[in-house]
Structure 1
Amino acid sequence: MTLFVVIAVLAVLGAVAVLAALEHRTWLTRREARRRETANRLRPSALALIDGEDPQVPTLSGPDTLVFADLLVHYSRGLRGEADDRISGYFESTGAVDRELRHLHGVRERSRVEAAFGLGDLGSSRAVPELVRALDDRSADVRAAATRSLGRLGATTAVQQVIAASVALRVPRAVAGAALLEIGPQAVPSLLELLGHEDPHFRADAAELIGLLGAANDADALPSRLRDGSPEVRAATAAALGRLGSGTARDELVATLQDRVPYVRASAARALGQIGGRTATAALLEVARHDEFDPASEAARALARIDPALVLRAAEEPDSGPHLLEAADRLRL
């Protein structure tokens, strides 16, 4: 009898749980439907604001305010220029920026993370100084979110601080790099200044990013760093010169093939392959035949790009070595 009662009670509890789950799911479905309806109703006003028209934004309250803000945030992620300025102006006028700035200094970590992330989407440059301070937050998630938002805001004044946070391992290198890439070419002047920084990690990061974001005329500041005391800086500089296609640095890159550090020689060989020009073939041929694995491999690949016929001839010689043979085999495919 007791077992019967237990089974009956469990059956009732199970049925109640199922009904509760169904009721919750129905409530969520209705809420999402109401949200979609509200978004459809407010979307014309959001688009009018973005397009610079004079939108008749209705007086909003409660859920409507959040839905309208979400629409603007969604569109802001793909915008720059005047449209982005209009969105940030709206958020400033409604007090949203000030509210998120207060949350950025709150006690709860989750609130700080959400504020650090959200301020990038609100688009207000007033948030930049506080986001820079947040790079020293005790929470790694807050620091990462602040870094992302500085990139989203195009904060050229924060370039050095973002690199500093990456060098000090306060922010993952990938997160800092993504933010700096989002800032874009406007970051290059600050990066050029950092080539003279006392810390070689700053110089190496600056050289690498100049190669990714810079233009051909930005390469003029780089060749002297091929003689930097840090091999990381020399390797990053060679890579940047290759990406920028700096033909004027070809002779200095050829000299760098004699660097004492193998990965620097490999970087110089790769860069010469990207730049092209047959004046470097003799030096590359020597490296491909006799150097260590990485420099020799990169030199053979560079030669295959610059002068394929030379690689095919060299592969037939007794002292060609495995890397020229491999490069020739690839050319024959």
Structure 2
Amino acid sequence: MVDRQRAAKDLGRLGWLARDAMPALVRALDDENAKVRETAAHAIGGMGPDALGTLVLMLGHADKYVRRNAVWALGKLGPLARPALEDLCNSLKDPDPRTASGAAQALGNMGADGAESVPLLAEAMRGTNIVLCRLASKALSQIGAPALATLIAHLQHADPFVRAESAIAIGWMGVSARSAVPFLARVLRGPECPLTRTPISSLTPTAIEMPNSEALTPAQLPVPDPTSSEMTCRVHAAQALGRIGSAASGALVDLREAARSGAEPLRQAAQQAIRLIQGA
């Protein structure tokens, strides 16, 4: 076993130069020893685009460590892994959490070429695997414009964690997410604010109503729990608006109100967002 594992490791160090040894490494994927299988899988993953077909087959292997190496290697290929898109989408439901999370990363690394995976990444965001949710939201942000509407819709999801991750992902998209500004402003104001009773689904960037600073006094506003999930959503919405920059100037009224009367850490996040939007 030691000799077989060492041989696979040595081949792995050669990278694509060891491509002539691919058949032997593929046979090693079914070795009786788990360490040999994992080392062979890692070696194949280092061979780059030449290993694409083999990596796709590895996604269906019984050994989770082989599958993990496959999604890791496909992720390194970026857009070159486009032929494996359907198989990676299937891997989002892999019983091994790390394989599923790696598949999300690989799909995100394809950028816009991974647009067909948006519905399945959105489904992954709504699951119970927190790491997968976070990586799926990151992948959607990397895919960009084709995923923006999905992320905006998730801002009104019942699970506050999903809402928060959606806000983070929109922020990662920067100025290209300018159409999400009114919806982020809605999240920023919070569900308990009387000024935000209109559901996100009925809002448009031109129809959203900004709050009147004279409508409520600080004493009339509910006192939020700074540790609550809702507060976390509001903080991430403020941070996302800041990352969008000057294109988020339409949310300055809401941000100033949060900076004036919000609890920490919302106040600090709003102040920072205002500085970023105004270019200070």
Interval containing the TM-score (normalised by the shorter chain): 0.5 to 0.7
Q: In 2, distance between residues paired with 1:172 and 1:200?
A: 9
Deviation larger for 250-259 or 284-293: 284-293
**In the alignment, what sits opposite 1:206?**
103
CA deviation string 1:167-222 (max 9, x = no partner): 9543595x55543344443323213333145834566543321112x132332432
1:280 aligned to 2:176? no
Equivalenced residues, count: 220
Q: In 2, distance between residues paired with 1:293 and 1:171?
A: 41
Q: Which amino acid aligns with 1:292?
A: E
Q: In 2, distance between residues paired with 1:185 and 1:250?
A: 20
Deviation larger for 290-299 or 143-152: 290-299
Go from structure 1 to structure 2 and tell me whether the alpha carbon gap of 1:193 and 1:144 turns closer, same or farther (over 3 Å shift). closer
Go from structure 1 to structure 2 and tell me whether the alpha carbon gap of 1:250 and 1:143 turns closer, same or farther (over 3 Å shift). same
Q: Identify which of structures 1 and 2 has the higher relative contact order when contacts are C-alpha pairs closer than 8 Å and 6+ apart.
A: 2
**In the alignment, what sits opposite 1:324?**
266
- 8 A contact 1:211–1:243 mirrored in 2: yes
Deviation at 1:294, TM superposition (A): 4.3
CA deviation string 1:302-330 (max 9, x = no partner): 11112465275243453x34343121344
Deviation at 1:116, TM superposition (A): 0.8
Q: Percent identity?
A: 33
- 8 A contact 1:235–1:263 mirrored in 2: no
Once the two structures are superposed, the pairs formed by residues 264-303 of structure 1 within 5 Å of their partners are 264-275=162-173, 276=175, 277-290=177-190, 291-292=229-230, 294-303=232-241
Q: Which amino acid aligns with 2:268?
A: E
1:149 aligned to 2:43? yes
- 8 A contact 1:266–1:295 mirrored in 2: yes
**Secondary structure in 2 aligned to 1:240?**
helix
Go from structure 1 to structure 2 and tell me whether the alpha carbon gap of 1:199 and 1:249 turns closer, same or farther (over 3 Å shift). closer
Q: Which amino acid aligns with 2:256?
A: R
Q: Which amino acid aligns with 2:181?
A: T
Larger Rg: 1
Q: In 2, distance between residues paired with 1:269 and 1:160?
A: 33
Which of residues 252, 260, 271 in structure 1 aligns to 2:150?
A: 252
Go from structure 1 to structure 2 and tell me whether the alpha carbon gap of 1:266 and 1:129 turns closer, same or farther (over 3 Å shift). farther
User: Unaligned regions of 5+ residues in structure 2, if any?
Assistant: 191-228
- 8 A contact 2:187–2:233 mirrored in 1: yes
1:189 aligned to 2:83? yes
**In the alignment, what sits opposite 1:240?**
139
**In the alignment, what sits opposite 2:65?**
170
Q: Which amino acid aligns with 1:148?
A: H
Go from structure 1 to structure 2 and tell me whether the alpha carbon gap of 1:323 and 1:299 turns closer, same or farther (over 3 Å shift). farther
- 8 A contact 2:19–2:47 mirrored in 1: yes
Question: 4+ residue stretches of structure 1 with deviation over 4 A?
Answer: 161-165, 175-178, 200-204, 231-235
Q: In 2, distance between residues paired with 1:204 and 1:280?
A: 26
Deviation larger for 291-300 or 228-237: 228-237
CA deviation string 1:199-246 (max 9, x = no partner): 34566543321112x1323324324541457454665433212123x2
Q: In 2, distance between residues paired with 1:225 and 1:286?
A: 24
**Secondary structure in 2 aligned to 1:222?**
helix
RMSD in angstroms over aligned alpha carbons?
Answer: 3.5
Q: In 2, distance between residues paired with 1:199 and 1:223?
A: 13
Q: In 2, distance between residues paired with 1:150 and 1:129?
A: 10
Go from structure 1 to structure 2 and tell me whether the alpha carbon gap of 1:208 and 1:179 turns closer, same or farther (over 3 Å shift). closer
User: Unaligned regions of 5+ residues in structure 1, if any?
Assistant: 1-108
TM-score by length of 2: 0.63
Deviation larger for 123-132 or 295-304: 123-132
